[in-house]
Amino acid sequence: MSKFKILIIAALVLLLSTACLSFGGLGEKVMDKALDKALEEADLPEGALETAQAGFEAISTEVLSSAEEAMDDVVTDAGDSPYPVPDDAQNLMNLDGVINYQTSLTLDEVVAFYRQALAAQGYTERTINTVIEAGVASLVFDGDPSGKALVVQVVSLGESSNVNVRLEDT
């Protein structure tokens, strides 16, 4: 394997491991193992590894900073939702009109909330597509001005629920 390929692989491992640091140091272990393997297979000139590591650290810091900025742009408050959300919505993310959030409401309470809130806005539930079973729910509503179907999916997390709401082509 060429030195260039080994350095590219090491760079990719470093970037991935930086993203995994929040998982109990898993990223560091992956990075260390990959760098050890790269050193075994490459006969690098003195100081090349240190130079590469410094470059990788600068890149990974920049990537991590960009990812944090992107998440700041995505995580919003409930007032920024194009769809109704319960008052206690937390971790609301709005990515191009697709929202995802958590709520302390049970799955049945979330289903009731959307049936009431969307009916009040003129939507009609497409009951043939409704699925509510084993801790998950999927509801489809017609009536959006775009002509698309409004899909509400809920997953019970025990003491809370995760909710995803989006438009889809009919």
pLDDT tens digits, residue range 137-159?
Answer: 999 999 999 999 999 999 999 99
Same domain flag for 131 and 145: yes
- The predicted model scores a pTM of 0.58
- 160 shares a domain with 123: yes
**138: phi > 0 → left, psi -120 to 50 → alpha, else beta; which?**
beta
Same structural domain for residues 66 and 39? yes
Same domain assignment for residues 8 and 65: yes
Residue 54 has pLDDT above 50, yes or no: yes
> What range does the domain containing 116 cover?
78-168
Secondary structure (H, E, C), the chain: CCHHHHHHHHHHHHHHHHHHCCCCCHHHHHHHHHHHHHHHHCCCCCCHHHHHHHHHHHHHHHHHHHHHHHHHHHECCHHHCCCCCCCCCEEEEEECCEEEEEECCCHHHHHHHHHHHHHHCCCEECHHHCEEECCEEEEEEECCCCCCEEEEEEEECCCCEEEEEEEECC
Using CA atoms in the order 68, 69, 74, 75, what is the torsion angle rounded to 10 degrees? 60
Per-residue pLDDT, 81: 82
Q: Please determine, for residue 75, whether its predicted confidence score (pLDDT) is greater than 70.
A: no
Q: Which tokens hold the place of 148? A: 């698309």
Residue 164's contacts (CB-CB under 8 Å, 6 or more residues apart) are 98, 99, 100, 151, 152, 153, 154
pLDDT of the residue at 71: 53
Domain boundary residue, one of 26, 47, 74: 74
Same domain, 36 and 89: no
- CATH code of the domain covering residue 148: 3.30.310.80
Domain boundary among 74, 105, 136: 74
pLDDT digits (tens, 9 = 90+) for 90-135: 999 988 889 999 999 999 999 999 999 999 999 999 999 999 999 9
Is the per-residue pLDDT at 162 higher than 70?
yes
> In DSSP terms, which residues pair with 100 in a beta bridge?
93, 164
Q: Which of 52, 74, 96 is the last residue of a domain?
A: 74
Residue owning tokens 């995802």: 100
Average pLDDT, the chain: 78
Total count of domains within the chain: 2
Q: What is the pLDDT of residue 32?
A: 67
What is the rounded CA–CA span in Å between residue 170 and residue 129?
A: 12
Please state, in angstroms and rounded to a whole number, the distance separating the CA atoms of residues 167 and 94: 13
